[in-house]
Amino acid sequence: MRSFCRRPNKMKTQIVLPEEIQTQTAVWQAQHAPITIEPGQEPLYAALIEELGEIRPLTGPDYQRTIRKYSRKGLPWLGKSDVLRAYGQLCAAGRMEYDPDLVTHIQKKPIRSQAGVTVVTVLTKPYPCPGKCIFCPTDVRMPKSYLRDEPGAQRAERHGFDPYEQTAARIQALEQIGHPAEKIELLILGGTWSSYRRDYQEWFVKRCLDAINGEESVTLAEAQEKNAVGPRRNVGLVVETRQDEIDADELRWLRYLGVTKVQVGIQSLDERVLALNQRGHDVQATRDAFRQLRLAGFKIHGHWMANLLGATPESDRADFGRLWSDTAVRPDELKIYPTMLVPNAELYEYWQRGEYQPYDEETLTELLADCLAQVPRYVRVNRVIRDFPTTNVVAGNKKANLRQIATQRAEAQGRKLRDIRYREIRRDKVTRADLHLQVTTYETDATTEHFLSYETADERLAGFLRLSFPHPDAELPLPELAGHAMIREVHVYGPALNLGEDSQGEAQHMGVGSHLIHQAKEMARQAGFGKIAVISAIGTREYYARHHGFAVDGLYMTAVLRDA
């Protein structure tokens, strides 16, 4: 067990699961038993299933809307596996006819699987956050900033916030609906990760890996070793923290845990707005955190907020522009979160006193359309609008599909959208001949970034790689990375197929990833780097070792670049 980055005051303790969690486990098991269709509700279930069968394609929002409609009529909130189990029971009882196409149609999880990786989201236990941000909801039953009735939060609470139970249940649920879970990105949410005790963090990650591995390990290192060669691999580990928590020690700790991506709330790049909203840090803190994260190879996922206290639509447009014009910021991924006014945030009192007003839907749509059109081609906009259940929103926008509306607005205005998510090929069939390599180069305050991508003629993305060259004078937070180019991300699109399955024509199996890595090594060699590092997740180590000559080297994997 490595010991270099322990905080002396954070002693390891054995976490004993309370009885409550054991009870909740029993509840979970009960939930996976045959669904109880209350007498008289059969026609309602049948109508729901038929309606879902008619919506093609069945998008996530379509599904949610339909379920919501039937929950108002008296059905419980049903996940897809519940619907499928109810369908099976109704067919077995002779009340519906079995149609395998309908099952496949309902099973489909197009967006989740199209990035080639299954995302499993888990929440940490309720815990305070050092931040005092006035827009952030507080619910003592939840980790800071989460509402109890958010879908992910409900799931976590049902499992007593136990990492093992949450992960195992999610994998089981996904596999139950025919969704392969061999490549898992673990998304750990909840307040500020770095403010939890380190022994809790280590235990939490180990228990998630235990669930992925399907067996227990004594230490985190053992769980990681098993995962590196196991049937289900952890191919990404994401945590969320504050910018003022990032320093060299924290970076080492995050790598020790196996973290590959960090979510940071930028929220604003306007000092006045940051202060008014009591963020407790300045813009420079964001710049410093991003520089260190980038130099250590992490993928940087920023959150940016519109409509904060003190902002106007005009100031928001200018602020959004600073995400890209300020070379020290430039995140790799972004969530755009217009402030949502909820009663259990301090901002609510400002609103009651008439000191804060949410934008109306039209103003917000125009603003978001303008923002989306500004996003550079190397950035993925993962989400627009926080998925708070709209019943919690006191005033302002209540539309959960505002991204779609804003995208359509921007398209109607003839504006070009270039963000990664907009351009992913998803399930489209492409051949190698359809793709060409494109290199987009941009500067940050400490690195030159090369965004290598394989794209079709109409700029649809089959895969990309983020290659980072630290500036010669950059002060490296982790000195062992001196002289190394860094691969921060390799991403190939296509469904999350199990290893060995055939996927003719889909990008994952065309060697797009290998071509990108080969190209990155060549570019690094030509730029004079003697070594190249990759911030590999535990579960991708074998791939880099076997196919690309990398070897585990401290907290990273590295390869020597030889002269041609």
Shortest spacing between CB 163 and ligand SF4, in angstroms: 19
Shortest spacing between CB 272 and ligand SF4, in angstroms: 17
Shortest spacing between CB 189 and ligand SF4, in angstroms: 10
Using the rule CB under 6 A, which residue among 67, 133, 220, 235 binds ligand SF4?
Answer: 133
Pairing of β 531-534 and β 551-553: unpaired
Query: Closest by alpha carbon to 225, among 252, 247, 266, 258?
Result: 258
Q: Among residues 346 and 411, whose Cβ is nearest to ligand SF4?
A: 346
Shortest spacing between CB 426 and ligand SF4, in angstroms: 32
Using the rule CB under 6 A, which residue among 25, 192, 243, 286 binds ligand SF4?
Answer: 192
Q: Quick one: tokens of 296?
A: 């250590």
Using the rule CB under 6 A, which residue among 116, 126, 131, 494 binds ligand SF4?
Answer: 131
Instruction: Please choose, out of 25-33, 131-139, 169-177, 508-516, the segment that lies near ligand SF4 by the rule CB under 6 A.
Output: 131-139
Shortest spacing between CB 139 and ligand SF4, in angstroms: 11
Shortest spacing between CB 311 and ligand SF4, in angstroms: 16
Query: Closest by alpha carbon to 194, among 259, 147, 140, 282?
Result: 259
194: contact with ligand SF4 by CB under 6 A: no
Eight-state DSSP code of residue 290? H
145: contact with ligand SF4 by CB under 6 A: yes
Q: Among residues 142 and 507, whose Cβ is nearest to ligand SF4?
A: 142
Q: How many helices (H) and strands (E) does the chain have?
A: 20, 14
Query: Closest by alpha carbon to 423, among 394, 460, 458?
Result: 460
Shortest spacing between CB 309 and ligand SF4, in angstroms: 13
CA–CA gap between residue 75 and residue 398 (Å, rounded): 23
Using the rule CB under 6 A, which residue among 265, 302, 470, 494 binds ligand SF4?
Answer: 265
Instruction: Please choose, out of 6-14, 128-136, 399-407, 486-494, the segment that lies near ligand SF4 by the rule CB under 6 A.
Output: 128-136
Shortest spacing between CB 129 and ligand SF4, in angstroms: 3
Phi, psi of 428 (to 5 degrees): -60, 145
442 HSE (CA, 13 A, CB side): 18
Shortest spacing between CB 265 and ligand SF4, in angstroms: 5
Q: Among residues 129 and 269, whose Cβ is nearest to ligand SF4?
A: 129
Number of neighbours of residue 179 by Cβ within 10 angstroms: 18
Residues 6 or more apart whose CB falls under 8 angstroms from that of 358 comprise 307, 339, 341, 351, 395, 396, 397
| 57 cis-preceded (ω within 30 degrees of 0) | yes
309: contact with ligand SF4 by CB under 6 A: no
Q: Among residues 144 and 233, whose Cβ is nearest to ligand SF4?
A: 144
H helices present in 125-229, as ranges: 151-158, 163-176, 198-213, 220-229
Q: Among residues 157 and 424, whose Cβ is nearest to ligand SF4?
A: 157
- Determine the 3-state secondary structure of 351 from DSSP: helix
State the angle between helix axes of 248-257 and 283-295 in degrees (0 to 180), rounded to the nearest 10. 50
Q: Among residues 140 and 218, whose Cβ is nearest to ligand SF4?
A: 140
Shortest spacing between CB 279 and ligand SF4, in angstroms: 7
Q: Among residues 274 and 523, whose Cβ is nearest to ligand SF4?
A: 274
CA–CA gap between residue 457 and residue 344 (Å, rounded): 49
Q: Among residues 32 and 197, whose Cβ is nearest to ligand SF4?
A: 197
Instruction: Please choose, out of 125-133, 252-260, 397-405, 441-449, the segment that lies near ligand SF4 by the rule CB under 6 A.
Output: 125-133
Closest residue to ligand SF4, judged by C-beta, is 131
Q: Quick one: tokens of 446?
A: 């400490």
What is the signed CA dihedral for 252, 257, 258, 260, rounded to 10 degrees? -60
Sheet holding 461-470, edge to edge: 436-443, 447-455, 461-470, 484-492, 531-534, 556-560, 551-553
Using the rule CB under 6 A, which residue among 116, 126, 160, 191 binds ligand SF4?
Answer: 191
Tell me the site size for ligand SF4, rule CB under 6 A: 10
396: contact with ligand SF4 by CB under 6 A: no
Shortest spacing between CB 136 and ligand SF4, in angstroms: 3
Q: Among residues 104 and 284, whose Cβ is nearest to ligand SF4?
A: 284
Using the rule CB under 6 A, which residue among 144, 409, 484, 541 binds ligand SF4?
Answer: 144
Using the rule CB under 6 A, which residue among 80, 232, 242, 294 binds ligand SF4?
Answer: 242
129: contact with ligand SF4 by CB under 6 A: yes
Q: Among residues 129 and 209, whose Cβ is nearest to ligand SF4?
A: 129
Q: Among residues 265 and 513, whose Cβ is nearest to ligand SF4?
A: 265
Contact call for residues 290 and 447 (beta carbons, < 8 A):
no
Contact call for residues 296 and 255 (beta carbons, < 8 A):
yes
Sheet holding 380-384, edge to edge: 118-123, 183-189, 233-241, 261-267, 299-306, 333-338, 380-384
Using the rule CB under 6 A, which residue among 136, 168, 347, 555 binds ligand SF4?
Answer: 136
- Determine the 3-state secondary structure of 557 from DSSP: strand
Shortest spacing between CB 222 and ligand SF4, in angstroms: 32
CA–CA gap between residue 325 and residue 443 (Å, rounded): 10
Q: Among residues 144 and 426, whose Cβ is nearest to ligand SF4?
A: 144
Binding site for ligand SF4 (CB under 6 A): 129, 131, 133, 136, 144-145, 191-192, 242, 265
